[in-house]
């Protein structure tokens, strides 16, 4: 079971190339501050702009650097089923602990198409698969009934739910195996998601406030609801600031303020504006991150 605070790892760039030195610095920072797992090559890692070679090497480097200290959930999704299979088999072969597979974007598959997409991937790997349901970016929304059918496969073991629908985990839990893993994909409602039966959060904010995000998750698991609420309130303005412009622009700028990497993103994402920079910096100052 995956749980707690799991940063959705940013991909650092330098002069439009992957900056592997900064990648190692970021990963060590996240582990040092008690992250419960890590997700390379997800949306926050700008996976749509990575070449196949870069995608695979980032996951390889993550596996090497982490060295089994925390679980690695490799982003291996694609809107091309065969490509998703290739990425997933690669992640399995190099020692990732699970695969995070996004619902196919742009193609707009039906529920039958979604089912067959994940079934085909499941049939080609023994790696645990976490469904990534994010209608805001993929346009399609996996229904509860489709997810429950997919959960019958032994290696489809959970969901990253970025719908921001807090009723959904309750409705899903009524019809699914008890060991199915529910991870939030929304920092702003991560604590509320736990109250609805969630197990943790794949987080953008945890790239720059890993200890606070981990502390909030741990406080909830320990039954210290008051402390969890206090940390949640403390983080709330920061959560909001990191999505004023398209992610990961703001969080990469925040990481640059911590000396972790350059704020550089790849086109079509572009440098965030000066007002957003000031907002992010002020929010970080308020909670003593910088």
For the stretch 16-74, pLDDT in tens is: 999 999 999 999 999 999 999 999 999 999 999 999 999 999 999 999 999 999 999 99
CA–CA–CA angle 22, 273, 279 (5° rounding): 85
Asked if 39 contacts 9 with a C-beta cutoff of 8 angstroms, the reply is yes
Cβ contacts of residue 110 below 8 Å, gap of 6+?
none
The full DSSP string for 75-95 is E---SSHHHHHHHHHHHHHHT
**Each residue's pLDDT tens digit in the chain (290 positions)?**
799 999 999 999 999 999 999 999 999 999 999 999 999 999 999 999 999 999 999 999 999 999 999 999 999 999 999 999 999 999 999 999 999 999 999 999 999 999 999 999 999 999 999 999 999 999 999 999 999 999 999 999 999 999 999 999 999 998 897 889 999 999 999 999 999 999 999 999 999 999 999 999 999 999 999 999 999 999 999 999 999 999 999 999 999 999 999 999 999 999 999 999 999 999 999 999 99
For strands 156-161 and 129-133, give the pairing: parallel
- Beta carbons of 62 and 39 less than 8 angstroms apart: no
Any idea which residues carry the catalytic annotation? 132, 160
CB-based burial of residue 87 (10 Å sphere; 0-12 exposed, 13-18 middle, 19+ buried)? buried
Report the topology of domain 4-233.
Answer: TIM Barrel (3.20.20)
Closest CA to 43 of 9, 84, 6: 9
CA of 66: how far to CAs of 17, 166, 179, in Å? 22, 32, 26
3-state secondary structure of 161: strand
Structural element, H or E, at residue 194? helix 190-195
Helix orientation angle between 81-94 and 111-123, rounded to the nearest 10 degrees:
30
Prior bond of 236 cis (ω within 30°): no
């Amino acid at each position: 079971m995956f749980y707690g605070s799991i940063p959705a790892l940013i991909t650092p760039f330098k002069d439009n190339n992957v900056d592997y030195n900064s990648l190692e610095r970021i990963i060590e920072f996240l582990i040092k501050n008690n992250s419960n797992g890590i997700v390379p090559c997800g949306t926050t890692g700008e996976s749509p702009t990575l070449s196949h070679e870069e995608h695979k090497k980032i996951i390889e480097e993550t596996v090497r650097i982490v060295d089994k200290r925390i679980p690695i959930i490799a982003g291996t999704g694609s809107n091309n089923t065969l490509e998703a299979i290739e990425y997933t088999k690669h992640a399995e072969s190099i020692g990732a602990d699970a695969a995070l597979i996004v619902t196919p974007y742009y193609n707009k598959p039906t529920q039958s198409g979604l089912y067959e997409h994940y079934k085909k991937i499941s049939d080609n790997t023994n790696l645990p698969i976490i469904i990534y349901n994010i209608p805001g970016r993929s346009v399609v929304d996996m229904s509860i009934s489709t997810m429950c059918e997919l959960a019958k496969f032994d290696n489809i073991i959970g969901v990253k739910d970025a719908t921001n629908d807090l009723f959904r985990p309750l409705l899903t839990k009524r019809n699914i195996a008890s060991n199915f893993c529910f991870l939030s994909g929304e920092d702003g409602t991560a604590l509320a998601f736990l109250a609805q039966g969630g197990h943790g959060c794949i987080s953008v904010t945890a790239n720059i406030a890993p200890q606070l995000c981990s502390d909030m998750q741990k406080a909830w698991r320990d039954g210290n609801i008051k402390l969890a609420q206090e940390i949640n309130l403390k983080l709330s303005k920061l959560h909001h600031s990191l999505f004023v412009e398209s992610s990961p622009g703001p969080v990469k700028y925040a990481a640059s303020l911590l000396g972790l990497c350059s704020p550089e993103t790849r086109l079509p994402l572009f440098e965030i504006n000066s007002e957003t920079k000031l907002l992010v910096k002020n929010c970080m100052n308020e909670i003593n991150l910088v």
